[in-house]
Amino acid sequence: MSSRSGDLAPEPNAAPAVAVIGGGPAGLMAAEVLNAGGARVSVYERMPTVGRKLLMAGRGGLNLTHSEPFEAFAGRYGGASARLRPVLEAFAPTALVAWADALGQSTFVGSSGRVFPQAMKASPLLRAWLARLSADGVALQTGREWRGWDEGGALRMRQPDGEIQSLRPDAVVLALGGASWPRLGSNGAWAELLSARGVALTPFRPANGGFLVDWSETFRARFAGSPLKTVALTFDGCSVRGEAMVTRRGIEGGAVYALGARLRDAVALDGSAVLFLDIRPDLTEAALGDRLARPRGGGSLANHLRKAGLTPVAINLLREVHGLDLPAEPAALARLIKAAPIRIVGAAPIERAISTAGGVAFDAVDDRLMLKALPGVFVAGEMLDWEAPTGGYLLQASFATGVAAARGALDWWMKERSYGQA
């Protein structure tokens, strides 16, 4: 396999040359900010096209961000909230909405507070974005796989023909994603390359993914794919209202994802965890007991439960977790409906998770998101060790860290240049 030098290299007294590796939301946003700051920017993407995971997200309406007050918004990132807060303040949800509007993609706020483009899909936004980047002179190079650094410190970039190209840019922004949905490009293979260079990493873990439940074959065959609408889930003292779905291997959905980090960590520690399902969160236990105490005549228990607002999947789930003979006493039956115990035995495979936790530890980067072990190399997006529930938080942080890494690279280069000329 041969090697050659690339054309992205520093030029004396010229604008900085910056390589952005990864063509997802974080990488493309970094490229835009770098270009606006006067840099010569090339984006290198391993896949044949850019923005593949963004297009996948758009199948559900492309939830760009959320309209809730900033204090609540910034708190959605769990243990990473303190480190991400200044990043989010510098490129807040309002800034993302304004950015989309400038692309001709106006947005609206849904009933849940989530923000979507009017088109309700990603392709129009991505087309407009790529057209603007191209018009502004950003070079997009697909089919290029980053292979780390050579002994002289140059980037190694595998070309479509297998040849290795050597690049020596002034700065690098890495935006290679996490380890979920590898077929879309984010396979986490970069972790080994950074670890070998002394970068502190935390193990990848699935986030916003489903969980495994040992359903019976009968229940699985009949109800896989059935929704549990307007329910509440409780685990470890935290309750979330929303929707869930029975899958062949367990349970997933927005309400499950919101409790995902707690569930995942508990299962990793103890081997299993019990998630409590409230099928009728709109009724108190006492009110539900009164309704169930009404005479049912010659009707079956299943019909009686349907009249109390339970769907067939909910009724059969109660039998799945309790036994075929449900409590005959109305108060006991109401207690079961309000807190049906579902034993979680594992997390679904990371490859099927919407996002991942883990990656580059925040202690490994400075306030500009530059790797302490590799000056001039910046990190953005899901490569960093943060996680958040669905609802616009994932894309917002990806865009915002792309902005932060780009601004950090420009700031670092200016200071390095001034130092070199001193």
pLDDT tens, residue by residue, 157-206: 999 999 999 999 999 999 999 999 899 899 999 999 999 999 999 999 99
Q: Measured between alpha carbons, how far is 35 from 410 in angstroms, rounded to an integer?
A: 10
Q: Which residues form the domain of 17?
A: 3-207+355-421
Sign of the four-CA dihedral 205, 208, 212, 217: negative
Q: Measured between alpha carbons, how far is 306 from 284 in angstroms, rounded to an integer?
A: 17
Average the pLDDT over 407-417 and give the result.
93
155 in the same domain as 252:
no
295 in the same domain as 221:
yes
Tens of pLDDT along 364-384?
999 999 999 999 999 999 999
**What is the side-by-side order of every strand in the sheet holding 3-5?**
3-5, 164-167, 155-158, 145-149
226 in the same domain as 168:
no
217 in the same domain as 202:
no
Sign of the four-CA dihedral 158, 162, 164, 165: negative
pLDDT for position 422: 46
Cα 72–Cα 77–Cα 81 angle in degrees, nearest 5? 85
Q: Measured between alpha carbons, how far is 3 from 6 in angstroms, rounded to an integer?
A: 10
From 347, 374, 404, give the residue that closes a domain.
347
pLDDT for position 314: 98
Tens of pLDDT along 6-37?
556 555 557 899 999 999 999 999 999 999 99
327 in the same domain as 287:
yes
Instruction: With cut-offs at 50, 70 and 90, classify the pLDDT of residue 3.
Output: very low
CA 120 to chain centre: 18
277 in the same domain as 389:
no
pLDDT for position 1: 38
Average the pLDDT over 120-134 and give the result.
97
Domain count, the chain: 2
Average pLDDT, the chain: 94
pLDDT for position 2: 41
202 in the same domain as 158:
yes
223 in the same domain as 301:
yes
Q: Measured between alpha carbons, how far is 193 from 22 in angstroms, rounded to an integer?
A: 15
376 in the same domain as 298:
no
From 302, 322, 347, give the residue that closes a domain.
347
Identify the residue whose tokens are 């990043």: 87
51 in the same domain as 175:
yes
* In the predicted structure, residue 352 carries a pLDDT above the cut 50: yes
pTM: predicted TM-score of the whole model, two decimal places? 0.91
228 in the same domain as 192:
no
* In the predicted structure, residue 421 carries a pLDDT above the cut 70: no
16 in the same domain as 125:
yes
How far is CA 84 from each of CA 92, 324, 357, 380, rounded to the nearest angstrom? Answer: 11, 49, 14, 11
pLDDT for position 5: 53
Residue, of 10 and 213, whose pLDDT is higher? 213
The CATH number for 226's domain is 2.40.30.10
The CATH number for 158's domain is 3.50.50.60
From 313, 347, 381, give the residue that closes a domain.
347
Average the pLDDT over 330-354 and give the result.
96
